[in-house]
Structure 1
Amino acid sequence: MSNEPAMAAPVAGPAAPDRDDDEIDLLQYWNIVRRNRFLIAAIAGICLALALVLTLLATPIFRAASMLQIEREAMQVLNVEGLVPTEAGGAIANEFYQTQYTLLASQSQAQRVAQDLNLIADPHFKEAVDAVDDKLPAVERAVAQRREVADALLKMVTVEPVRNSRLVKVNVDSPDAGFAARIANAWGDAFIAANLERRFDASSYARKYLEERLAQLKARLADSEAELVNFASQQQIISVGEDKPSLAAQNLGDLNGALATAQQERIKAQAEWNQAASGNGLGLQQTLDNPVIQNLRTERAKISGEYQEQLRTYKPGYPDMQRLAGQIAELDRQIAAEIGNVRASVKAKYDAAQQQENLLKSRITGLKGDVLDLQNRSIQYNILKREAETNRQLYDGLLQRYKEIGVAGGIGANNIFVVDRAEVPENPYKPRLPLNLAIGLLLGLMLGVLAAFARHFMDRTVHSGPQLEQLTGRPVLGVIPRLDDGVTPAEAALDLRSPFSESYRSVRTALQFATTHGLPASLLITSPNASEGKSTTAMELAHNIAQLQKRVVLIDADLRNPSVHKLMSLPNGVGLSSVLSGAADIAAAMQRTAGGLPVITSGPIPPNPPELLAGEGLTDLLSALSSQFDVIVLDGPPVLGLADAPLLGNKAEATILVASADSTRNEAVTGALARLTAARANVLGSILLGYDLKKGDSYGYGGYTYYNYGNNK
């Protein structure tokens, strides 16, 4: 059973799908962080230590806080409308509180506290006081000192509103805990006092203004009332009271009522007279109510009845009958006389009612003229009267307002209260060691990650197989792990199960599928620069191919800085340069190692290697060796800066470009590949040497960490 892992995927497997340039490769980022974990840890440790040192060296700062309650409307001891701000909401309320917060942190507030506590003489502000120029006049110097102290004080104070409430904290930070508490309490007291003073000043201004207005209105009221009285006296206008008509108008009203009554009486009397004037008058109510007439009528009825009774017996001419007829006639005359008196009484009553009505009409006609004349004269009177009333109302209103402001100003309404007074803090507010350490650690990790990414993206060297494959556009035939310090490639190759040996066998397997006929007949191993491991690779590939029972010959084609003879402890007196120059034949130049591997060393270093490599000698040599060996492995010189490698690449059937992990620059790889391509070299792929397995990254093809496969026993 072979121990060789299947490593042909990079060559024979399907091509990896194209990645979008904008796609975020989280695994790549994670690998960057993991590869630079020690750098990140170092930077984080430095930041953590720096945070610790700065925290321990920092001066402890104590914070004292007092809490105030700010109401938009002051407590109403008296309900005096307009003397205090009314409750408002929305944007108006927000503006109010923002104004209060600004006043709390204002220069005037700081100067008031400084003055109340005489902070100019306080040692805490000695530096600010001494900063003022001594050459200033005394007054200006005092003002400048107060301003400097206030500025220094403001730097110690922060205003912190409590969300969703009417409370606000006044925080004072100072190295002196007691001083911080004293400033915090004095700050709230000064703010309340300043608020009361503003209210008192506002009421004083209002009182002064009202006093001036009252004096003006009082004089105007006196003038308007005097003008009204003079006009009334001149026009003989007598006022009987507010909202009452004049005397003439009252008399006219009374006469109109009397006229209506007189008309009713006249109509009634006229109806009675009409009734009395027509007919015999016996149906009149006065007749019916007259006892004399009723007695006479009763007497006549009695005598008339007696006459009718006697008429049955006697003739009308009979004396008794004549006597009775005479009595009846006398009674009729008396009744008619009484009825005439009644009619005369009704007529007199009618005449009197009509006369009274006529008199009232005459009087009313006269009064109408007087009232109209009075109304004409009262137009100006009413104007003057309304002006006087208006002035009186204004005067009374301002007088009442003046009294209310005087009472409210004396009470001293306040809308700011101290909820909690500041106490002397026992523990420092800052520096806070846990927080600073956490910030230092977080900042260090962030800086470390940034440094890792900066290091990665600024580093132009090859780090991984996928990166090398992306640079060359050709498959990576193998990734050779880095050897531990003190271990030589020869020693590592002795352990057939080591990652070093396994990786070269993987390269050999990939080469078996690199061409249609299997292993290439001639294989050039080169690198962009010197000392990148091409010679070790050439030797290991030669040994591994020989293990397949293939005839292999190793040629040191680096005619400028040969190393195969040193690595294999072989003499270098006769070699490739000797064969190419015709100084020796192939048999004389060929040597064998202890393991039996045929080797042709470089031979003496020629003065002009490109001339030897460009001649027909190299072609003849490769042709001759091809008839004897299955594979010819050429250890070539570096590509960049020399013409040797492109010449060899043009002659060899296949070329492998070797790069050193974390050493070979990207530009060197692309430049070397461009030169080889220009020389029409058949570059099969590349090999990455010196890869650090401790990075823990996979090869990059499906995450298969093949180096440790079967090596954990």
Structure 2
Amino acid sequence: MEDRESIDLDIGKYFKTVQRYWLVVIGVFALCVGLSVYGTKYLEPTYAASGKLLFKVDRTSSLAGIGEGLGELKALLADQTPLSTQIEIIYSNRLLNQVINQLNLVDSEGKLREAESIRKSLEVKIIGGTDIVSLSYESKDPKEAADIINTLMEVYMQTNVDMNQEDAIEAREFISQQLPKVQEEVFRAEQALRSFKEKNQVLDLDAEFRTAVTELAELNRKITVLESELSGVNALAESLQTQAGFDLEEAIAINTLSQSPVLIGILTELENVESELVNERKRFKDQNPRIIALNQKRDSLNAALQEQVEQTLGSQAVVPEGLLQVPQGQKNNQLERFIANEIQRVELTRQLESLYTSRRNYEQRSQNLPQLEQEQQELQRKVQIAQVTYETLLKNLEEVQVAENKSTNNTRIIEEAMVPEEGSTAKIQLLALGIMLGLVAATTSVLLLEMGDKYIRSVEETKKIFGYTLLGIIPMFKNKRLSSYFQGEKATPDIPVIEASDSFISEIYRMLQANLKFLSSDKRIKTIVVTSSVPKEGKSTVSANLAATLAQLGYRVMLIDADMRQPSQHHLWGLTNAVGLSDILVGQAELQSGICQGIERLDIIPSGVTPPNPLALLDSKRMTSLIRNFSENYDFVIIDTPPLILAADALTLSQIASGILLVARPRVLDRASAKSAKEMLERSGQRVLGLAVNAISKNESSQYFYHAKRYFPTKKVKAQIYPKSSTKI
């Protein structure tokens, strides 16, 4: 909403600016339009010739199956059209220079024309929704326009054919260079695959993987069977060992010895000696020769037995004594079973170890198969890619060799340029250009004038710069014509509120005093310093009319002219300035002698003789005492002071007053002075009661006071002033 209001304000400000400079606007606009009208007299007719090119896809290559893609129009980027590229080729210097040379186009000096001279009059565009491009050329010579278009289309078509053949030649040369490299790449890829198979002993990994799974299953089955058999053999071996009372080594030794006849004979004889010795000991003592002889024979047989064992089993073999006995049938059978069982156990253990080794080998191979398969697939892909690339290059080489000898053209002339019979002039365009330039020049002129204007022009601008409360808007009444707009011919030049108390101007000042009253409801406003930023803004007139309005409303008012440099109140009221404020302050005159009566309830003190240093008098204790005295004896004290940026009098007096009423007059007050005055007020910290905008123009007055003329009568009604009791505000 704020943006819309600011746009409306800007547009309104612009139209107000145009209204101020309407003579300049009309003059600049009329000048531009007049120049364009004058220029139409010198325009010569121009002739336009046009032709059309159809862009189509060459079907010969696709039907023959060779050279597909050559000469086909394709865009490099997705947001472009291939026809745009062809249009730029038509605009190129290469084609335009060929047209110039073929037609021998020369300039006024007899030299061949530049390509730019053709390009600026040439227009090439796409006919919407089609693959047709339109070419048009404007020239003062109708035949030249038609010749240029026709020649340009022929040159473009021949150039298109040449470019397609150049593409085929470049493709053939490139393929010829790449073929040996690709062939070498195929050889290296195949060699790498062959080396891999030889190194890893690979024939068919898929078949090998299936075989490995089958073999592992079979090995696990066999291992399970052998482990079961070995478990039974081990149990039998433990049982036989428990029954026989010897282990495997002992059984082997016994079996070996039992096969020796000599050893059997010794054992038999030793057994007989032992039996005889037992019998003889029953009859004789150990010292008996018979016993001694048998002991010696036994020892001799044991020595022979040990010697025979060493010869049979070796010198390191030790056979327990209890095992060397004559073989018996049952014991010999157990020994054979024990040995056979041990042999079977050893054989089963050996078979299991062999199966375990085979299974480990298969498992290790199976674990390596995925890695080998990945490596083999990578090598096979390289071989396949290299082979496909090589075959593709061979096929493309054959195609480009055919396409190199073929004239490929994807354009066709569907409309030749005809010699135009009628020409045209740009009168309407020139007039439109003149109107547009006139509008632009007029707008620019207004903007430049506005930029160079340093004065404030409106109430809104005044409010925006100062930012104070707007207490009143006072129309210009000094001009006789403007005053009659509001109240006929009844106002006096300077203080209209006295002669026409029922006039619109009088009501404006009553509204001003009412706004001053409403500023503060708890603290009365009695002493008002009236000032302005620069001279000629009407501060003295506003002071006089405000004081007269308050007096007419029944208040006792003191009006003091404190502008000792350029006093005005004695002129406005028709008083003498022989004795005034300066004389009272320096003690050269009594207070009563300096007070003059303006109207009933209004006393006036003129400025008096101009002193050498007015500020010293206004900043004196005597001045402070006078103001306080007047504040006690009057309802209002109005002080007319010099402009802010010219003297410090207003700021000094505002220290002993209720506040400052700032008067601003558009078209008199400049922006720089207004900003300086506002900065001075802000630095001083004095209270600014508000802003009174004085002497606004008739045009702006009609904006704010549209209904004033109908509401206020034009017939003079003599004002009747009735006494009122003093009311403090």
Contact 1:75–1:414, Cα closer than 8 Å, also in 2: no
CA distance in 1, matches of 2:713, 2:15: 22
Match of 2:579 among 545, 558, 574: 574
Q: How does 1:211-250 map to 2 (within 5 A)?
A: none
Match of 1:660 among 647, 661, 665: 665
* Per-residue deviation, residues 137-171 of structure 1 (Å, max 9, x unmatched): xxxxxxxx54x433322232232222321222222
CA distance in 1, matches of 2:100, 2:595: 101
Q: Does 1:69 align with 2:69?
A: no
Distance 1:39 1:97, change over 3 A: farther
Q: How does 1:549-564 map to 2 (within 5 A)?
A: 549-564=554-569
Q: Does 1:481 align with 2:475?
A: yes
With structure 1 as the length reference, what TM-score do the two structures score? 0.57
Distance 1:473 1:114, change over 3 A: closer
Match of 1:415 among 394, 411, 414: 411
Q: Does 1:151 align with 2:116?
A: yes
Contact 1:67–1:421, Cα closer than 8 Å, also in 2: yes
Distance 1:414 1:617, change over 3 A: closer
Distance 1:78 1:651, change over 3 A: closer
Contact 2:564–2:614, Cα closer than 8 Å, also in 1: yes
CA distance in 2, matches of 1:541, 1:482: 15
- Paired letter, 1:440: L
Match of 1:440 among 437, 459, 483: 437
Q: Percent identity?
A: 24
CA shift, 1:545, in A, is 0.7
What SS class does the counterpart of residue 612 from structure 2 fall into? coil
Q: Does 1:505 align with 2:492?
A: no
Contact 1:61–1:176, Cα closer than 8 Å, also in 2: no
RMSD: 4.4
Contact 1:556–1:634, Cα closer than 8 Å, also in 2: yes
CA shift, 1:548, in A, is 0.3
Distance 1:82 1:679, change over 3 A: closer
CA distance in 1, matches of 2:505, 2:544: 13
What SS class does the counterpart of residue 617 from structure 2 fall into? helix
Contact 2:583–2:608, Cα closer than 8 Å, also in 1: yes
What SS class does the counterpart of residue 525 from structure 1 fall into? strand
What SS class does the counterpart of residue 119 from structure 1 fall into? coil
Q: Does 1:29 align with 2:10?
A: yes
Match of 1:520 among 484, 507, 525: 525
Match of 1:599 among 597, 604, 611: 604
Distance 1:96 1:461, change over 3 A: closer
Partner of 2:385: none
Of 71-80 and 421-430, the range deviating more from structure 2 = 71-80
Q: Does 1:538 align with 2:505?
A: no
Q: How does 1:341-380 map to 2 (within 5 A)?
A: none
CA distance in 2, matches of 1:447, 1:497: 46
Distance 1:88 1:47, change over 3 A: farther
Partner of 2:90: 104
CA distance in 1, matches of 2:101, 2:71: 33
Distance 1:535 1:171, change over 3 A: same
Contact 2:73–2:82, Cα closer than 8 Å, also in 1: no
Match of 2:494 among 490, 494, 512: 490
CA distance in 1, matches of 2:105, 2:713: 77
Q: How does 1:196-207 map to 2 (within 5 A)?
A: none
CA distance in 2, matches of 1:550, 1:543: 10
- Paired letter, 2:131: R
CA shift, 1:578, in A, is 1.4
Match of 2:39 among 57, 61, 66: 57
CA shift, 1:88, in A, is 5.3
What SS class does the counterpart of residue 432 from structure 1 fall into? helix
Contact 2:495–2:572, Cα closer than 8 Å, also in 1: no
Q: How does 1:292-307 map to 2 (within 5 A)?
A: none
CA shift, 1:642, in A, is 1.7
Partner of 1:135: none
CA distance in 1, matches of 2:473, 2:413: 78
CA distance in 2, matches of 1:67, 1:181: 9
Partner of 1:305: none
* Per-residue deviation, residues 338-383 of structure 1 (Å, max 9, x unmatched): xxxxxxxxxxxxxxxxxxxxxxxxxxxxxxxxxxxxxxxxxxxxxx
Distance 1:194 1:680, change over 3 A: closer
Match of 1:645 among 632, 643, 650: 650
Contact 2:557–2:601, Cα closer than 8 Å, also in 1: no
CA shift, 1:442, in A, is 5.6
CA distance in 1, matches of 2:163, 2:526: 104
Distance 1:434 1:498, change over 3 A: farther
CA shift, 1:533, in A, is 0.9
Partner of 1:126: 108
Contact 2:462–2:666, Cα closer than 8 Å, also in 1: no
- Paired letter, 1:710: Y
Distance 1:496 1:110, change over 3 A: farther
What SS class does the counterpart of residue 36 from structure 1 fall into? helix
CA distance in 1, matches of 2:164, 2:75: 23
- Paired letter, 2:627: L
CA shift, 1:405, in A, is 8.8
Of 510-519 and 681-690, the range deviating more from structure 2 = 510-519
CA distance in 2, matches of 1:495, 1:26: 41
Contact 2:663–2:694, Cα closer than 8 Å, also in 1: yes
Contact 1:475–1:684, Cα closer than 8 Å, also in 2: yes
Distance 1:496 1:168, change over 3 A: farther
What SS class does the counterpart of residue 642 from structure 2 fall into? coil
CA shift, 1:119, in A, is 1.2
CA shift, 1:529, in A, is 1.9
Aligned residues: 475
What SS class does the counterpart of residue 158 from structure 1 fall into? strand
Distance 1:645 1:95, change over 3 A: closer
Contact 1:74–1:414, Cα closer than 8 Å, also in 2: yes
Distance 1:100 1:54, change over 3 A: same
CA distance in 2, matches of 1:38, 1:654: 38
Distance 1:429 1:680, change over 3 A: closer
* Per-residue deviation, residues 378-425 of structure 1 (Å, max 9, x unmatched): xxxxxxxxxxxxxxxx9xx989x98x998x76xx97732142524424
Q: Does 1:163 align with 2:128?
A: yes
- Flag structure 1 segments of 5+ consecutive residues without an equivalent: 1-18, 130-144, 214-393
Contact 2:663–2:692, Cα closer than 8 Å, also in 1: yes
CA shift, 1:562, in A, is 0.7
Partner of 2:288: none
CA distance in 2, matches of 1:167, 1:114: 25
CA shift, 1:557, in A, is 0.9
Partner of 2:711: 710
Partner of 2:352: none
CA shift, 1:105, in A, is 1.3
Contact 2:530–2:660, Cα closer than 8 Å, also in 1: yes
Partner of 1:320: none
